[in-house]
Structure 1
Amino acid sequence: MIPSASKGTASRVLNAPIDKVWDAVCELDFSFWRLVQKSETLGDGDKVGNVHRVVFKDGTVQKYKVVEYSELEHAVTYELIESNPPTRATSALYTIQVRPVTSNNTSFVEWTSEFSMDGGVEVVQDSKYKKQEALEDLAKLVEG
């Protein structure tokens, strides 16, 4: 957890089983998200410690480092380690977790962010809207 952080969350119930949703998010390639042009994993080995380079369609390039990964909990936590152009927050930590909705074989996805306080409310709100859009794109992929 980032000390003195601002938090933001977006969530959605998807009409798809947990395995299908987890398969779409666990590699952190963000291929489901219309804002992403391409991504690549730098290095190899265990998921924890892997660095992912994501190129967005607006030209932004970011690198994320996986700091926690759980197949059991269907959760991945990653840290923003580099951004060009730079972000307003000096640190950012994200978690995507998928949970089963057992009554109807759907999935609940929660995507949280913790930003250092220097990011401000604008960073939290911008991140929330982008995550909501990404979850909408994820729904189109797994529900289609």
Structure 2
Amino acid sequence: MSIPTSTSVVESAVIEAPLSHVWHHIKLQDFSNFWSALKSSQYVKGTSDETDVVKWTFKDGTELEVKQEEHSTINHYITYSVITAKPELTYSSVLSTIRCYAVTSGEFEGSTFVEWTGNFSSDADAGVIQDAKFKRRDALADLAKAATSK
């Protein structure tokens, strides 16, 4: 019997760097430049001009092809979906969004608030959600390191 679970995950962090320093890293093809779990991230050849598909190869051997669904340089967010996976995913789909906000006042003025969500299909189990949570936390910590390094 499966355990009922939420099929969404939200992780966030305040990165003590200006929005421009953080947003500069948020391109699917550049994720391996900051995310230590990734061995490589590069455009997939042969896709149409209207579709940005990037292959993420993780150090554990997992390969994901992610498709950019939405991107706004004005509102500083990117939404992507996983279209293929090796090994195959145990769930049907996931749609993820990374949003960056400038912190304009208070203790963290000049910093960036980053939120990374994932909305999974209803067949994702608790293990999938936990894994996504920790992957996002690790990636946000890696992003903070990259954005604050000189």
TM-score by length of 1: 0.90
The residue that corresponds to 1:54 in the other structure is 56
What is the rounded CA distance, in whole Å, between the counterparts of 1:60 and 1:26 in structure 2? 20
What is the rounded CA distance, in whole Å, between the counterparts of 2:121 and 2:10 in structure 1? 15
Share of identical aligned residues, percent?
37
Q: 2:132 aligns with which of 107, 113, 127?
A: 127
What is the rounded CA distance, in whole Å, between the counterparts of 1:100 and 1:133 in structure 2? 21
Greater than 4 Å deviation, 4+ residue runs: 43-46
Q: Deviations over 1:71-100 (max 9, x none)?
A: 111000001000000111110110011000
What is the rounded CA distance, in whole Å, between the counterparts of 2:120 and 2:51 in structure 1? 20
- 1:1-144 correspondence runs (5 A): 6-30=7-31, 31-43=33-45, 49-103=51-105, 104-144=109-149
Max radius of gyration: which structure? 2
Give the aligned residue type for 2:130. Answer: Q
TM-score by length of 2: 0.87
Residue aligned with 1:122, SS: helix
Structure 1 spans left out of the alignment, 5+ residues: none
Residue aligned with 1:24, SS: coil
What is the rounded CA distance, in whole Å, between the counterparts of 1:28 and 1:15 in structure 2? 24
What is the rounded CA distance, in whole Å, between the counterparts of 1:98 and 1:14 in structure 2? 10
**Deviation, structure 1 residue 101:** 0.3
1:29–1:54 CA contact under 8 A, matched in 2: no
Question: What value does the CA root-mean-square deviation take over the aligned residues?
Answer: 1.7
Residue aligned with 2:123, SS: helix
Aligned residues: 139
Q: Deviations over 1:32-79 (max 9, x none)?
A: 011100111125887x62000010001111000111110111000001
Structure 2 spans left out of the alignment, 5+ residues: 1-5
